[in-house]
Amino acid sequence: MKTYLVGGAVRDRLLGLPSGDRDYVVVGESQDAMLARGFKPVGRDFPVFLHPQTGEEYALARTERKSGRGYRGFVVDADPAVTLEEDLQRRDFTINAIAEDADGNLVDPYGGAHDIERRVLRHVGPAFSEDPLRVLRAARFMARFAPLGFSIAPETQVLMREMVATGELADLVPERVWQELVRALASPAPAAFLRTLHACGALAVVLPEVDALYGVPQRAEYHPEVDTGVHIELVCDMAARLAPGDDLIGFAALTHDLGKALTPPDVLPRHVGHESAGVAPLRALCERLKVPAAHRQLAEIACREHLNVHRLFELRDRTVHELLARCDGFRQPARIAQLVLVCEADKRGRAGLSDCEYPQGPELLRLHAAALAVRGADVAREGLEGPALGEALARARIAAIATARARTAQ
């Protein structure tokens, strides 16, 4: 049985990165032969098997022929006559179209190793344009590899713009868009994902609420980068720096300023009330992409409350308590720490301010801890229940916040 290691494992080894899952392609075999060897079938749309001992994935070499619109519109041929080169030709980028035999020899018919050396993301061939999901994959790979110096080949950029112009990206199902977005937000440079999609016009299709922020001016004394779209890029990269791999923080960072796209032109570059204005487009985005509840909830809290956190030192004790309560910080304490990370990313995600301090963060965490230490049992009295107990608990927590602040002042 001729087997070759393919895809990401080979690419990452050549890049000097730790490799994840190891995937193999099998040449010259049939599905019946694989079953006879004890492999377990798992592929729904094409023949993929799990090795009976290692559990690693082995796929039969195959070709794909376009049969309809969208990323599902393909007819798969996994005949034993399909060659390794034909299988590699159907792949998206040259850096992913490299195989390695059992002796460690590379099979690289499309120059992927050379493109790795040059740090270029290039499509394998014209079949790239048949799958609209590949536009998002290009952007997601840039979110991962831009810090290594990668750029997209000019001819691939042209092809991506042409794919957007055909309207095929409209056929992408929300779950696949969300999957690529989440992986990009958990990458080291999510801003590269946004820039790539914006440059080819795809961002306006898959994330129109975010795309609308580009070109919207902000006050330069607070935002030296001025352009709101650029600010979002900086915030997303800062979120990735503060909370590596955390797509929950990343999504809230991405969507915290959506209301700025709705600011009337005659009041620009000021954005009074953009926090509340951003809730509606955020909810629309979440509904369209079927965003999980945890991501929705934190994103809405960050959208609504980020300016209140920035103004923490101006807030009264009672107002701080109300902020914590609105965020459900007493029932879900982790929410406050998450909100702090998003707000710090917002503050430091500005041109020239990436290394600035954010004292509001540790202060809010300290006040939250003081209030959280007060329990219902601490204020319960005989006959006190319902709203009366809730009011007593709130008063005690506000007092705890005041005491914590007084200690700081001393």
Angle between helices 190-200 and 174-185 (to 10 degrees): 130
- pLDDT of residue 387 exceeding 90, the answer is no
The token pair at 376 is 């219902």
Can you say how many angstroms the Cα of residue 72 is from the centroid of all Cα atoms in its chain? 23
pLDDT tier for residue 389 given thresholds of 50, 70 and 90 = confident
- The pLDDT value given to residue 19: 78
The average pLDDT across 145-162 equals 97
CA gap 400, 378 in Å, rounded: 12
pLDDT over 70 percentage in the chain: 96
The token pair at 348 is 């430091």
pLDDT tier for residue 74 given thresholds of 50, 70 and 90 = low
- pLDDT of residue 67 exceeding 90, the answer is no
Pairing of strands 120-121, 151-152: parallel
The token pair at 347 is 């503050």
CA-wise closest residue to 203 among 149, 146, 140, 264? 140
The average pLDDT across 279-283 equals 98
Q: What is the rounded end-to-end Cα distance, in angstroms, of the chain?
A: 76
- pLDDT of residue 175 exceeding 70, the answer is yes
Burial class (CB in 10 A: 0-12, 13-18, 19+), 202: buried
- pLDDT of residue 377 exceeding 80, the answer is no
Q: Which amino acid appears at position 365 of this protein?
A: L
CA atoms within 13 A of residue 357's CA, in its CB half-sphere: 4
- pLDDT of residue 292 exceeding 80, the answer is yes
Higher pLDDT, 30 or 407: 30
**pLDDT single digits (tens) 303-325:** 999 999 999 999 999 999 999 99
Q: Which amino acid appears at position 131 of this protein?
A: D
Which CATH class for the 1-131 domain?
A: alpha beta
Domain ranges of the chain: 1-131
